[in-house]
Amino acid sequence: MTKILAPIERLFTPYALIAINVVIILLAEFTGRGRFFAETGLIHFISVIFVGLIIVRIFSDYAFSDYILKGFLKIQLAFFLFLGLVHVYEYLGLHIFMLDSEVVELSVATSYLLWFLGIVLATGFVFRIYHRRSAIYTAIPWMAIAVIFVGLVGANVSSTFAQRLPGWVPLTILAGTIIFSAKGILSTRKIIEIMPVFKEYSRYAVPAMLLLVLAAFAEYFESTGSLEALGVSEVQILYLAHFLMHAVLSFLLVAFGKLKKPTGIYAEM
């Protein structure tokens, strides 16, 4: 798997990813009068490709056999798999099965909240092992994930359940995303104190989390139609949410690359 990625590793540098993102933006805005990527669903599949590259990068080669780091990466891998499936679902729901767009967009916004909970869970795993805490330490994030996931499935399986969702649900999801993003950022910064190998990772992961919060705002505006009242087209709101997501995933591609190439004593492990 590492050999497969070797020829394109140079595309995972910050400058190369900036160029790729700029090209994507220009193509989306100027192809087919700026609607082709939205109407064909291609904008969704670009996100899936980015997620796939991150999954392959995590799964293909652990830089060293550290139990704590491997546990962190495996949790991250699971949540990236989920994130990728959500973007596939977004395409299928909006372009193939013609599902309720509000439910689909709410599902995408919820996936961002779940991803931040995954960050809290992954960093919590590290803190639990290092500080020898009980498994109860990570029980709260797991419970929150389970409750949100059940609600998410219910909204997608039952139209009656979806219609009965209170109007404050989208705003609550956004608020939860903001709260757990702050927790995720603080945990990511704190983890450097016990595992310096995360220092380079955090330089890219923290900006990615901040951008994901902006993407969550864009998804909220898309699901509620708030910006359309200001004259911003639905297509442009869709593009904004996905351009931000592409930037998030680009930062994370670099971040996980830093964990695969440790320095100092970790390079010998």
Summarize pLDDT for 205-264 with one digit per residue, the tens: 999 999 999 999 998 888 777 777 777 888 999 999 999 999 999 999 999 888 865 554
Domain that holds residue 29: 2-261
Is residue 135 classed exposed, middle or buried when 0-12, 13-18 and 19+ CB atoms within 10 A define those classes?
exposed
pLDDT band at 265; cut points 50, 70, 90: very low
Decide if 79 is inside a domain.
yes
Decide if 269 is inside a domain.
no
Instruction: Return all residues near 216 (Cβ < 8 A) that are at least 6 apart.
Output: 109, 112, 113, 174, 177, 178
Q: What confidence score (pLDDT) does residue 188 get?
A: 93
C-alpha angle with apex 93: 169 to 44, nearest 5 degrees? 95
Summarize pLDDT for 18-57 with one digit per residue, the tens: 999 999 999 999 999 999 999 999 999 999 999 988 888 7
Decide if 266 is inside a domain.
no
Regarding predicted confidence, which is higher, 256 or 186?
Answer: 186
Decide if 207 is inside a domain.
yes
CATH number at residue 165: 1.20.1070
Summarize pLDDT for 114-132 with one digit per residue, the tens: 999 999 999 998 888 888 7
Decide if 257 is inside a domain.
yes
- The count of domains in the chain is 1
Joined tokens for residue 168: 């404050």
pLDDT band at 269; cut points 50, 70, 90: very low
Query: What are the distances in angstroms from CA 195 to CA 113, 216, 251, 264, 266?
Result: 26, 30, 20, 12, 10
- Is the pLDDT at 8 greater than 90, yes or no? no
Q: What confidence score (pLDDT) does residue 249 get?
A: 94
pLDDT band at 3; cut points 50, 70, 90: low
- pTM, to two decimals: 0.88
- Is the pLDDT at 268 greater than 70, yes or no? no
Closest by alpha carbon to 101, among 92, 113, 114? 92
